[in-house]
Structure 1
Amino acid sequence: MSSPPLRSHHCASLLRKLTSEATAPDRAQLKKLHCLVLKTIPSRSDPYFSNTLVTFYAKCGLLRHARRVFDGITHPNLFSWNAVLSAYSKSGCVPEMEEIFRRVPHPDGVSWNSLISGYAGSHESARTVVVYKLMLREGRVSPNRITFSKMLMLSSVWLSAKLGRQVHGQVVRFGFERYTFVGSPLVDMYSKVGLIDDARRVFYEMAEKSVVMYNTVITGLLRSGMVDDAKGLFHAMAERDSISWTTLITGLIQNGQEEDAIDLFREMRFRGVAIDQYTFGSVLTACGGLSVLEHGKQIHAYIFRIHYKDNVFVGSALVDMYSKCKSIKYAENVFRKMPLKNVISWTAMLVGYGQNGFSEEAVRIFCEMQRHGVEPDDFTLGSVLSSCANLASLEEGAQFHCQALVSGLISFITVSNAIITLYAKCGSTEDSHQLFDEMSIKDQVSWTALVSGYAQFGKAKETIKLFERMLVEGIKPDGVTFIGVLSACSRAGFVEKGYEFFNTMLKYGIAPVADHYTCMIDLLSRAGRLNEAEKFIKQMSCPPDAIGWATLLSSCRIHGNMEIGKWAAESLLELDPQNPASYVLLANMYAATGKWDKVAELRRGMRVQMVKKDPGCSWIKYKNKVHIFSANDQSSPYSDEIYSKLKWLYRKMMEEGYNPDTGSVLHDVVESEKLHMLSHHSEKLAIAFGLLCIPHDLPIRVVKNLRVCVDCHNATKYISKIAGREILVRDAARFHLFKDGACSCGDFW
């Protein structure tokens, strides 16, 4: 066989040099070289050079040029056919790939592998398997290591243990079980489909074990929760790369061992192992999970020192870490200094605001992100919807609902669940239920969101009915679902039903935690069964948390049980000396019985201990702005109109028979001063503002950070009747819908 012409060799060498000197081949230079060849080499159909040209045109993404060169070859050889077949395969041009394969005179292993790779790369798993079986059935060409590697990777992506086992059998039959190139994807496949014992068996049977194989098994062990085994294998490695260290650090975090992950990172630094963006991302996640701000700052300083601060992945991880450590100012500082931001960066800042109670800022940063032309993903949109829900901002939330519909992100179950929660937290349970019914796929979170929505509105019968329907449909409830059902029973006074649900939890493998116990304490004490609540607490496997004791103490104040109230207050003080609830609620109990000396003593104690009471405030949204009010607030530009409206309302309320409950004023002042203080509570100011500004055909929606007091609850009933308006108040405990002089809670809250 004669050797190719020298000039063809020379031009082919130039082609290889041209495409290897840069990360991406220079298309213009490639075309110039092709023109030169056409002018200087007489034989345009020289297959050696033409095959090389087809390959490099394909590398440049110039498929039409590659095909034109191929079609110009007078007598294409097998390499020619495979060159153009591979080009179509790698580019995902399935019809063209099929056409070329059908025309190949005698397909070899390379031809079949290109066809298999083309189908697999185009996510046509079923057709990939069909071609693979056809290759085996025809028997003219045997599968090789590339064939098996591709099929095993497909099994991993498809999470098909059945296909993986079948391919493994053929690997053994054709004698490739000892090949590292096949062993690595085989171990990976068994790990990903959850057959970790099979993965270990294949691993230990391999004569040569690469670092990649070790890393794959360690990943599988960690994914299966076998942390000690993963650590043992890691320490047994003769050679480790940075991926080995990062894999173990990430796995430790995923298995709740953040402290060990941080220690391993320190060791990694000490040994001088190269640290990349993924390592930093993992260890910063550990710092955020543990809220160890100082560790996070030290890692930040190290990142700055080695010039990783401008990396978008690392910057996003820093924003997330500082947010989880409650240092939102540091998070903002990192975010603003990032030269490049992607959707993950913006989402990290948005979620950080939401987690730290800055819901307005979360909505603002979302709008800013869109102005910068960054499109939200399902997680971003779900997060901003959650912030709208926390603000009870129905108008903005509805706009984001429309955006989800237009963008198609509503198809993501996380977004649909966030919208269900939004409408539920805004008191629109009908809209929430409508979206729920429209969802083609519902998961546990969908059901729980709706159950919790009905529960917060105090619709106990609807909550219980929905919960029972959930069980009938075979959806297993989780701990959050039971919190919703138990709180619904509590708000409706369904004590026996609450006991029934509480005792059902173990049937679903759910051990009660502090929130479930708090629901039961609330259920019993709200119903006035304080002695029963005391007995329940003494039988608990662990004492209540601060919220549990505060719940009992609050009910003791309402029912006037000083003895159990003092026990609850002392227990709360012992558990959390800085919690203002023990001082405030006990002071309220003393004030209600006129023991002002005891009230003064408790207030002195608060000053000595430097305990601060969270001030009560209420807010209402109007024209995309949140208007916040506190008691006796005069900061609003509408203050004159608000106080004038309140004065008019009080006169009308008195005519209707309203009797102010001065027992709600816990100060030792004269009766007239108590009446004045009552009339300017924050929720009354917010409602008056709503009457002035919100159109008459829309409900007035007010949110309060504390529980609504008895007098404000009574006054709002009168206001709803006098003004002929629906007034929806969401306090710290539940929703109250006031209409025609009545409240949806039935005066039981």
Structure 2
Amino acid sequence: MSHFSSNHYCTLLKLCCESRNFNNAKNLHSHIIKSIPNPETFLLNNLISSYAKLGSITYARRVFDEIPHPTLYSWNTILSAYSKLGRVNEMEHLFNSMPTRDGVSWNSLISGYAAYGSILRSVKAYNLMLSEGSYNLNRITFSTLFILVSKLGCVQLGRQIHGHVVKFGFQSYVFLGSPLVDMYSKTGLISCARQAFDEMPEKSVVMYNTLINGLMRCGRVEDSKRLFFDMRERDSISWTSMITGFTQNGLDREAIDLFRNMTLEKLQMDQYTFGSVLTACGAVMALQEGKQVHGYIITTDYKDNIFVASALVDMYCKCKNVKSAETVFKKMTCKNVVSWTAMLVGYGQNGYSEEAVKTFCDMQKYGVEPDDFTFGSVISSCANLASLEEGAQFHARALISGLISFITVSNALVTLYGKCGSVEDSHRLFSEMSFRDEVTWTALVSGYAKFGKANETIGLFESMLAHRLKPDKVTFIGVLSACSRAGLVEKGNQIFESMIKEHGIVPLQDHYTCMIDLFSRAGRLEEARNFINKMPFSPDAIGWATLLSSCRFYGNMEIGKWAAEFLMELDPYNTASYVLLSSVYAAKGKWDEVARLRKGMRDKGLRKEPGCSWIKYKNQVHVFSADDKSNPFSNQIYSELEKLNYKMIKEGYVPDMNSVLHDVEDSEKIKMLNHHSEKLAIAFGLLFIPPGLPIRIVKNLRVCGDCHNATKYISKITQREILVRDAARFHLFKDGICSCGDFW
């Protein structure tokens, strides 16, 4: 390399910084030492700056120490190097050693403290600078301070600094407008932000964008829209701010429409634009619009952007199009924790809980560390699978990793244990939590409610109110369902009224269904009918089926027919109406009516959903249906059932013939009852689950009356705990008693 002038060396140093090539910078430094005996100070200053930009404060300081007579610029250069790199102690020592200081020196000190997170020390430095004279102040200082005040949330200090801006004549700088408006917006003073905006003599596009963001954050959507359309010139950020604001304020359709207009304007879009509009599409399940946005993205440079791809996965999952989400996910060349979590959560939200757990395992194989949200999501999937063993393993991993300290993870675990029927573990974890929010309390309330523990559920609910926590719609569903399953009609009525009058919650369909269930289970069917007639809208299929089920139990044909007619009209292809009404007729011996209903089902091509039960053993799920002989251990299972049946009859068990909806001989009915799916699963559990451990069964339908009665006898005869999770609730059978109190 030939001898260059100082300007040439400075140019080459700049290229080293742009290419992030530290070795080239060192080689260039070496050449300067060899070629120039006494380099000029400004060249050495450039070397200091270059080393700082390349992250080597050691070399930067070595060059500074070699300058015989450092100028103020030299001092500021090395001070600034310490300030970007967060070396606060060295920065402070150097600052105190400076022979003279100017505004740049003070700005470096203030910014350095801020970068380190020491906001109070930044403010102290600002006050010290003022005491030395206002000549040090400049617009960079004020801009930095406004950003600091936004982080600190100190309104009074912000007002004081704003006063200094006016006092020292800096209010005319357009440059200061945006940080000033942003500072007031982020401290919640949106009126002051608007006033500051209006008082600025000139308004930049950036300032408009800042105020639009602030107004949107405060929910002032109409003001944002007016400001947006008042702008003479709008840049891409203006449009993106509006789209994001609409999405954040639940105006997803407006966000999608504005994006469409933005494409017509042929404006440049970035990852935030695409991310916001895809969030809007997912929120309203606008699959077609989401696909159109995807098509547009493919034509841009953002088709391989990890942020955008993750947003696409999330959008497709929220639109129930899991296959498209999988396609996008698999095509991603680079995935981070956000992408993996988007796919995992998507699986969980769409009922693919096993795939969610598998995705979590795959994620770890690729070395991606989960965050609290990922962990909470995979635990929720275990809860949906009623997989206590896997959930407990995740609990252990959360303890080891420290993620248990995040409330999202703890809440998911409280929910997991509740859904898996281990409400004692749920309560234990709840008690150990140092901080609990509304979700925590609701998770435990729901866990006790599923077990039918009405007194405990109501007690928790009242404790929640005593802790001044606001119950939400889900909390009330849990409490009302507990009341219905325990027959606490008056208490349930009182809580329903308080939900509306005291807590201002408008009842959802689920709340009305709980109330229908409350009256129906207690046999107060006429009150249930009157309640339905007073509802602001008709019950859904679950509500009608709930009433119809109770009509079957209490043998009320009149209200049963009334409910069935509405259910058939609402959902002609719902088999529940036919099956439940058939059971009402069968209990009364009206087999002609049963045959008529069955013919109606055949004519419509309807089939009753087959009942099935499953049990997990050695990480394998064993599924059973009625009269099932596909299991490799069928001979042992049926033999075990025969032995149990003999012992049960000796103890006083009598088969419940009403649970059979066929006009056949009693001997045939008994045979059909003996081989129901849950009985097969229980026999399997007795054979293979070690003594001392509970037998856990999951069933897709409600447990029939005969199986419920039989399981009580089995638990007494075998001295085993049997936990059955059916479509409605948990049943813990122990010593011949069920936790539901025979009320389900």
Question: Residues 37 and 546 of structure 1: is their aligned pair in 2 closer, same or farther, counting only changes over 3 Å?
Answer: same
- How many Å apart are 1:564 and its aligned residue? 1.7
Question: Residues 233 and 669 of structure 1: is their aligned pair in 2 closer, same or farther, counting only changes over 3 Å?
Answer: farther
Q: Does residue 1:26 correspond to 2:24, yes or no?
A: no
* 1:605 alignment partner in structure 2: 600
- Checking the alignment, whether the CA contact within 8 Å between 1:537 and 1:544 is kept in structure 2 is yes
- How many Å apart are 1:377 and its aligned residue? 0.7
Q: Does residue 1:645 correspond to 2:643, yes or no?
A: no
Mapped partners of 1:11, 1:292: distance in 2 = 57
Name the stretch that deviates more: 200-209 or 49-58.
Answer: 200-209
Q: Residue type matched to 1:539 in 2?
A: K
Secondary structure of the residue that 2:662 maps to in structure 1? coil
Mapped partners of 2:441, 2:478: distance in 1 = 11
Choose from 11, 30, 35 the match for 1:35: 30
Question: Residues 142 and 306 of structure 1: is their aligned pair in 2 closer, same or farther, counting only changes over 3 Å?
Answer: closer
Mapped partners of 1:99, 1:580: distance in 2 = 80
Q: Residue type matched to 1:297 in 2?
A: K
User: Normalising by structure 1, what TM-score?
Assistant: 0.95
Secondary structure of the residue that 1:689 maps to in structure 2? helix
Name the stretch that deviates more: 132-141 or 277-286.
Answer: 132-141
Question: Residues 217 and 604 of structure 1: is their aligned pair in 2 closer, same or farther, counting only changes over 3 Å?
Answer: farther
Question: Residues 336 and 16 of structure 1: is their aligned pair in 2 closer, same or farther, counting only changes over 3 Å?
Answer: closer
- How many Å apart are 1:609 and its aligned residue? 4.2
Secondary structure of the residue that 1:340 maps to in structure 2? coil
Deviations, residues 146-180 of structure 1 (Å, cap 9, x unaligned): 12212211222333434333332322222223322
Question: Residues 601 and 149 of structure 1: is their aligned pair in 2 closer, same or farther, counting only changes over 3 Å?
Answer: farther
Deviations, residues 539-598 of structure 1 (Å, cap 9, x unaligned): 223332332222222222211222222222222233333333222222222222222332
Question: Residues 270 and 596 of structure 1: is their aligned pair in 2 closer, same or farther, counting only changes over 3 Å?
Answer: farther
Question: Residues 65 and 296 of structure 1: is their aligned pair in 2 closer, same or farther, counting only changes over 3 Å?
Answer: same
Question: Residues 580 and 205 of structure 1: is their aligned pair in 2 closer, same or farther, counting only changes over 3 Å?
Answer: farther
- Checking the alignment, whether the CA contact within 8 Å between 2:106 and 2:136 is kept in structure 1 is no
* 2:14 alignment partner in structure 1: 16
**Aligned pairs for 1:283-432 within 5 A:** 283-306=277-300, 308-432=302-426
Mapped partners of 2:199, 2:184: distance in 1 = 14
Q: Residue type matched to 1:15 in 2?
A: L
- How many Å apart are 1:387 and its aligned residue? 0.7
Question: Residues 477 and 100 of structure 1: is their aligned pair in 2 closer, same or farther, counting only changes over 3 Å?
Answer: same
Name the stretch that deviates more: 242-251 or 412-421.
Answer: 242-251
* 2:523 alignment partner in structure 1: 528
Question: Residues 526 and 63 of structure 1: is their aligned pair in 2 closer, same or farther, counting only changes over 3 Å?
Answer: same
Q: Does residue 1:632 correspond to 2:630, yes or no?
A: no
- Checking the alignment, whether the CA contact within 8 Å between 2:16 and 2:22 is kept in structure 1 is no
Mapped partners of 1:291, 1:612: distance in 2 = 31
**Aligned pairs for 1:174-253 within 5 A:** 174-253=168-247
Secondary structure of the residue that 2:74 maps to in structure 1? helix
Q: Does residue 1:55 correspond to 2:53, yes or no?
A: no
Mapped partners of 2:604, 2:419: distance in 1 = 36
Question: Residues 306 and 668 of structure 1: is their aligned pair in 2 closer, same or farther, counting only changes over 3 Å?
Answer: farther
Question: Residues 268 and 10 of structure 1: is their aligned pair in 2 closer, same or farther, counting only changes over 3 Å?
Answer: closer
Q: Residue type matched to 1:616 in 2?
A: G
Q: Residue type matched to 1:646 in 2?
A: L
Choose from 732, 741, 746 the match for 2:741: 746
Aligned residues: 741
Mapped partners of 1:631, 1:435: distance in 2 = 38
Question: Residues 174 and 668 of structure 1: is their aligned pair in 2 closer, same or farther, counting only changes over 3 Å?
Answer: farther
* 1:572 alignment partner in structure 2: 567
Secondary structure of the residue that 1:701 maps to in structure 2? strand
**Aligned pairs for 1:590-739 within 5 A:** 590-611=585-606, 613-739=608-734
Secondary structure of the residue that 1:568 maps to in structure 2? helix
Q: Residue type matched to 1:357 in 2?
A: G
Question: Residues 75 and 347 of structure 1: is their aligned pair in 2 closer, same or farther, counting only changes over 3 Å?
Answer: same
* 1:554 alignment partner in structure 2: 549
- How many Å apart are 1:96 and its aligned residue? 1.3
Question: Residues 598 and 327 of structure 1: is their aligned pair in 2 closer, same or farther, counting only changes over 3 Å?
Answer: farther
Q: Residue type matched to 1:409 in 2?
A: L
Mapped partners of 1:492, 1:168: distance in 2 = 63
- How many Å apart are 1:533 and its aligned residue? 1.6
Question: Residues 35 and 437 of structure 1: is their aligned pair in 2 closer, same or farther, counting only changes over 3 Å?
Answer: same
Question: Residues 301 and 460 of structure 1: is their aligned pair in 2 closer, same or farther, counting only changes over 3 Å?
Answer: same
Question: Residues 135 and 566 of structure 1: is their aligned pair in 2 closer, same or farther, counting only changes over 3 Å?
Answer: farther
Name the stretch that deviates more: 486-495 or 268-277.
Answer: 268-277
Mapped partners of 2:648, 2:373: distance in 1 = 48
- Checking the alignment, whether the CA contact within 8 Å between 1:90 and 1:121 is kept in structure 2 is yes
* 1:265 alignment partner in structure 2: 259
Name the stretch that deviates more: 277-286 or 430-439.
Answer: 277-286
Q: Does residue 1:496 correspond to 2:493, yes or no?
A: no
- How many Å apart are 1:349 and its aligned residue? 1.3
Mapped partners of 2:633, 2:294: distance in 1 = 47
Secondary structure of the residue that 1:508 maps to in structure 2? coil
Mapped partners of 2:195, 2:624: distance in 1 = 67
Q: Residue type matched to 2:620 in 1?
A: K
- How many Å apart are 1:260 and its aligned residue? 2.2
**Aligned pairs for 1:87-106 within 5 A:** 87-106=81-100
Question: Residues 570 and 230 of structure 1: is their aligned pair in 2 closer, same or farther, counting only changes over 3 Å?
Answer: farther
Name the stretch that deviates more: 587-596 or 341-350.
Answer: 587-596
RMSD in angstroms over aligned alpha carbons?
Answer: 2.0
Question: Residues 549 and 133 of structure 1: is their aligned pair in 2 closer, same or farther, counting only changes over 3 Å?
Answer: farther
Question: Residues 736 and 96 of structure 1: is their aligned pair in 2 closer, same or farther, counting only changes over 3 Å?
Answer: same
Name the stretch that deviates more: 727-736 or 202-211.
Answer: 202-211
- How many Å apart are 1:613 and its aligned residue? 4.1
Question: Residues 547 and 40 of structure 1: is their aligned pair in 2 closer, same or farther, counting only changes over 3 Å?
Answer: same
* 2:63 alignment partner in structure 1: 69
User: Normalising by structure 2, what TM-score?
Assistant: 0.95
Question: Residues 333 and 92 of structure 1: is their aligned pair in 2 closer, same or farther, counting only changes over 3 Å?
Answer: same
Question: Residues 667 and 216 of structure 1: is their aligned pair in 2 closer, same or farther, counting only changes over 3 Å?
Answer: farther
Question: Residues 531 and 271 of structure 1: is their aligned pair in 2 closer, same or farther, counting only changes over 3 Å?
Answer: same
Mapped partners of 2:248, 2:541: distance in 1 = 29
- Checking the alignment, whether the CA contact within 8 Å between 1:323 and 1:331 is kept in structure 2 is yes
Choose from 502, 511, 517 the match for 1:516: 511
Q: Which runs of 5+ in 1 are unaligned?
A: none
Mapped partners of 1:682, 1:564: distance in 2 = 31
- Checking the alignment, whether the CA contact within 8 Å between 1:661 and 1:711 is kept in structure 2 is yes
Q: Which runs of 5+ in 2 are unaligned?
A: none
Question: Residues 313 and 13 of structure 1: is their aligned pair in 2 closer, same or farther, counting only changes over 3 Å?
Answer: closer
Mapped partners of 1:198, 1:546: distance in 2 = 52
- Checking the alignment, whether the CA contact within 8 Å between 1:7 and 1:41 is kept in structure 2 is no
- Checking the alignment, whether the CA contact within 8 Å between 1:135 and 1:141 is kept in structure 2 is no
Q: Does residue 1:168 correspond to 2:169, yes or no?
A: no
Q: Which runs of 4+ in 1 moved over 6 A?
A: none
Q: Does residue 1:476 correspond to 2:476, yes or no?
A: no
Mapped partners of 1:142, 1:120: distance in 2 = 19
Question: Residues 255 and 747 of structure 1: is their aligned pair in 2 closer, same or farther, counting only changes over 3 Å?
Answer: same
Question: Residues 310 and 34 of structure 1: is their aligned pair in 2 closer, same or farther, counting only changes over 3 Å?
Answer: same
Q: Residue type matched to 1:129 in 2?
A: V
